[in-house]
Amino acid sequence: MRLKAYLCASGHIVSTKGSQDESRDMLSSPDRTPGWLVVIQTLELIFHQAVRNVRKNHGNAIIGLLLNILQTVMLIAVFMMIFIFAGMRSAAIRGDTLIYLMSGVFLFMAHVKVISQVAGAEGPTSAMMKHRPMNAIVAIGGAALGELYIQVLTVMVVLFLYHAIWTPIEIYQPVAAFGMLLAVWFAGLSIGVVLYALKPWVPGISRLLTMLITRINMVASGKFFLANSLPEAYLHYFMWNPLFQSIDQARGYAFINYNPLHTSPMYAIYFGMVVLFLGMLGEFFTRKRASLSWSARH
């Protein structure tokens, strides 16, 4: 006891009580990042990923935007020629025929483009996933947000040029019509998540389904006809499609003299919520079982 007291007084033995208390405090209250800060960091990563996706196809973002605008304008021009030569102008709503076509083409482009972008986002076996902050939410959110940015700018530029050069435009309820664009974007995002979860297992079939959805929606989206003008015998062939319902509703918001009777503005939202839930379940299942050897095999 005397030796221990002497060593403690001389400083050779240091009491461990303080260090034990500090260790206990560190274990009881770990330094965790607040939840709101994690959300902000994730949103920041999604923003940077969206910028990367916008610049991925072309180094100059402005040229990439112009290419998308040119593609949209060419599609509108082709459909206008079909309308003229096939004598289908009488089937359109009384009013501006180009606005009638634009309301279908804009929503069609937003829907199919976001499907292809989300389905082709960085998968669990890609090199980008080796970086610690990168995850599936950032990859999917960046792809969807980048495509929404491109499509919204395209709509604004095309409508402004048409208004300034050709003729003044008048849209009955522009906010609600833009809401239909967001609805089909969300529905396309949910379908893309399902294809994204399927891609590591069967990448060939995932690409084939993406192309097949685009081809089917060339006809099944209802760009050329109205739901009110379809016979009841054929209407049920199109009612399953959220793009068909949203285009019909968008024309109801764009034209004062058209009232959709068979479609719902909320169908695309409900459809997207259900499909997104199933897609996230599939993505979680795939991420737990993904292997780097899959990309080498395929």
Q: Is residue 42 part of a domain?
A: no
Q: Is residue 140 part of a domain?
A: yes
What's the mean per-residue pLDDT of the chain?
A: 80
Q: Provide the residue range defining the domain that includes 189.
A: 59-297
List the chain pLDDT tens, one digit each, 298 residues: 443 444 344 444 444 444 444 334 433 444 566 777 777 877 887 777 787 777 776 667 678 788 888 888 888 888 888 777 766 655 557 777 888 888 889 999 999 999 999 998 877 666 666 666 778 888 888 889 988 988 999 899 999 998 998 888 888 899 999 999 999 999 999 999 999 999 888 888 989 999 999 889 888 888 777 888 888 888 888 889 999 999 999 999 998 888 888 899 999 999 999 999 999 998 888 877 766 555 554 4
For 17, the token pair is 């009580």
| Whole-number Cα distances in Å, 76 to 159, 208, 228 | 12, 26, 22
Q: Is residue 95 part of a domain?
A: yes
Q: Is residue 17 part of a domain?
A: no
Q: Is residue 7 part of a domain?
A: no
Kindly tell me the sign of the dihedral angle through the C-alpha atoms of 204, 199, 106, 278.
positive
CA gap 273, 279 in Å, rounded: 10
Instruction: Give tens-digit pLDDT for 161-197.
Output: 989 988 888 888 999 999 999 999 999 999 999 999 9
Q: Is residue 30 part of a domain?
A: no
Kindly tell me the sign of the dihedral angle through the C-alpha atoms of 96, 102, 107, 108.
positive
The string of DSSP codes covering 116-161 is HHHHTS--TTSGGGGSTT--HHHHHHHHHHHHHHHHHHHHHHHHHH
How many domains does the chain divide into?
Answer: 1
> pLDDT value at position 273?
96
For 190, the token pair is 């949910």
Q: Is residue 87 part of a domain?
A: yes
Tokens 């009841």 appear where?
232
Could you tell me if 189 and 144 are in contact, meaning their C-beta atoms sit under 8 angstroms apart? yes
Q: Is residue 3 part of a domain?
A: no
| Whole-number Cα distances in Å, 27 to 17, 18, 24, 202 | 16, 14, 5, 45
For 263, the token pair is 């479609």
